[in-house]
Structure formats: C-alpha cells, structure tokens
C-alpha cells in the first residue's frame, strides 16, 4: 500500500493523535472506537463490534464489491472489515496522520492493500469526484463537523444514485437538553481535555439536514443501550491496562476513565445514540 495521500495540512484534536498503542489497550482488537452491537448477554466486546460492522453492512445493503467512503475512519476498523468480509473498495478519511500509518500496516498484514486507501484531511475540504461511491459511512464523526448542511450535501454529491449514507452519532435528546447540558463542566471537560470542538445535536437536526440535502430517510435505530455497554467494557479495559496507559503519559488512564464515565452518565436521560440511514433515491 502506498503512503497515505496528504491533501491538506489538517489540524485535529489531541485525542486522536495519541500513540496508537494507547487505544489498543482498551478498544477491541479491530480498534473500533464507536458503539458496538450486543446480540446476547454473553457477547464479548470484540464479537459485539463485529456484530455492529455487519449491521452497518446490512443497513447499507452491501452485497459485495461496492465502493465505500468512510468519513472519520479512525483506526480503520470499518474499511478493513468491509474490504476483507465484503470485498469492498474502500477510502477512509481522517485528519489524524497517525491513524493512516496504522491502517496501511493493517491493510498490508491482512492482504487488502489494493482495496484500502486513505486520505489525510477534513471531508469538508477535500475534493472528491461526484457520484463515485455506492456507500458513505460516518460513525461518530459528524459530531466534529460544524456545518451539517455542507456535510450532508457533499455526502449526497459523492454517492451514486441509489447509494446509501449511514450516520451513527450521540445526540442530545432534544434542543432543551442541548441548551441545558451543552456548557456543563463534564461537557467542557470532554471538549477541552479530550476532543476539542464537538457538538451533540438532537436527532431532529440530523434528519433536517439530511432531508434538506435531498436524502430520503430509510431507517433510524436506537443504539443507546449498546453504547452504554460498549463504554462499560472500555472502562473495564482501561482499569486493567492503567499501568501500561500511564507509561505513555502519567495520569492518562484516570483522564480516560473520567471521560468515559461522563459519556456514560447521560445515556437515556440527556443523550441518546442513534443510527440514521439515508438513501439517494433521485
């Protein structure tokens, strides 16, 4: 696999630029950094994350061999999985350079270098050909994109007719919750100490932006309980690996644990986690 293509000098937040080994200490072996999907009480984190990737494929209607764009590709779990399991040609976008090096190594190790490409940058700033992919995914990344209208417009533009967009995101329950909790201490801690800029919108904002861009809404799934359970698994893993995590940066394990506890505190009360699937039908 060739070196990742650097299209822009992209700034990102400090969290995704941490050493990849840190994420390997508390995520599943695929390093999927978003909600899993638990099909039974006995599911491990790894099996639940594979369940989730198959769920995404079903919602997108993948049959094999499609061209897929993953916006905010993280450590490459989705594009590597779709290349291996479904024979898809995939392109991942992320502003964090370290993630691209890791994905290139993993693609080579799994024998899918010809099916997995990445570009460093922000989706809103990259030039991508219109009607060039069959599916677009955004798992937990749209929260870091300020202009919803532009993101949905550009996502629709790159899709071929009949293509699908999958967006999963944590959302405030409604506009009142967003106003009440958007500036509280826990929210500010996540913004300033973990992720940098981010905005949890109500689901209605995502639906409105999608429909304004010309999408048809195909489905909405509530994955709130699955994300709560996912984060419980991550917290357990942070506790087990605290010494190894702190070897990278003293106090980092406690900081990660606090962030994950803040995330888990609001599920079902102030926040929800939804999977929204949109189709380009015209």
* Residue 38 belongs to domain with CATH number: 3.40.50.150
Answer for the pair 45, 233: CB distance below 8 angstroms, yes or no. yes
Answer for the pair 213, 182: CB distance below 8 angstroms, yes or no. no
Q: Is residue 133 part of a domain?
A: yes
Q: Tell me how crowded residue 18 is: count the other CB atoms within 10 A of its CB.
A: 17
Could you give the CA distance from residue 221 to residue 252 in angstroms, rounded to a whole number?
33
pLDDT of residue 9: 32
Q: Is residue 206 part of a domain?
A: yes
pLDDT of residue 4: 39
Give how many domains the chain has, as a whole number. Answer: 1
Q: Which domain holds residue 143?
A: 7-62+120-279
Q: Is residue 79 part of a domain?
A: no
Q: Is residue 171 part of a domain?
A: yes
pLDDT of residue 57: 98
Q: Is residue 183 part of a domain?
A: yes
* pTM for this predicted structure: 0.89
Q: Is residue 84 part of a domain?
A: no
Answer for the pair 81, 107: CB distance below 8 angstroms, yes or no. no
Q: Is residue 88 part of a domain?
A: no
Could you give the CA distance from residue 275 to residue 217 in angstroms, rounded to a whole number?
11
Q: What is the mean pLDDT, run by run of 10 residues, along the chain of 282 residues?
A: 36 67 95 96 97 98 97 96 98 92 96 97 94 97 92 98 97 74 57 58 95 98 97 98 96 93 84 96 92
Could you give the CA distance from residue 151 to residue 255 in angstroms, rounded to a whole number?
31
pLDDT of residue 54: 98
pLDDT of residue 225: 96
pLDDT of residue 138: 97
Q: Is residue 152 part of a domain?
A: yes
pLDDT of residue 259: 87
């Amino acid at each position: 696999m060739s070196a990742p293509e650097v299209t822009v000098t992209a700034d990102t937040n400090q969290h995704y630029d941490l050493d990849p080994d840190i994420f390997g200490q508390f995520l599943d072996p695929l390093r999927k950094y978003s909600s899993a999907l638990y099909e039974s009480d006995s599911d491990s984190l790894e099996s639940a994350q594979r369940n989730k990737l198959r769920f995404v494929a079903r919602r997108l209607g993948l049959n094999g061999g499609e061209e897929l764009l993953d916006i905010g590709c993280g450590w490459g779990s989705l594009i590597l999985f779709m290349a291996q399991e479904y024979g898809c040609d995939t392109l991942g976008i992320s502003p964090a350079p370290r993630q691209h090096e890791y994905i290139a190594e993993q693609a080579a190790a799994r024998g899918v270098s010809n099916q997995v490409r990445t570009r460093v940058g922000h989706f809103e700033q990259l030039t991508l050909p219109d009607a060039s992919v069959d599916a677009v995914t955004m798992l937990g990344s749209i929260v870091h994109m300020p202009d919803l209208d532009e993101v949905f417009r550009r996502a629709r533009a790159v899709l071929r007719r009949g293509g699908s967009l999958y967006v999963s995101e944590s959302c405030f329950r409604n506009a009142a919750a967003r106003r009440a909790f958007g500036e509280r201490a826990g929210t500010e801690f996540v913004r300033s100490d973990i992720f940098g800029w981010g905005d949890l919108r109500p689901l209605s904002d995502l639906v409105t932006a999608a429909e304004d861009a010309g999408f048809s809404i195909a489905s909405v799934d509530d994955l709130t309980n699955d994300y709560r359970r996912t984060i419980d698994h991550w917290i357990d893993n942070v506790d087990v690996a605290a010494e190894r995590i702190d070897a990278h940066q003293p106090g980092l394990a406690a900081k990660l644990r606090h962030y994950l506890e803040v995330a888990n505190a609001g599920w079902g009360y102030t926040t929800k986690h939804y999977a929204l699937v949109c189709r380009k039908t015209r």
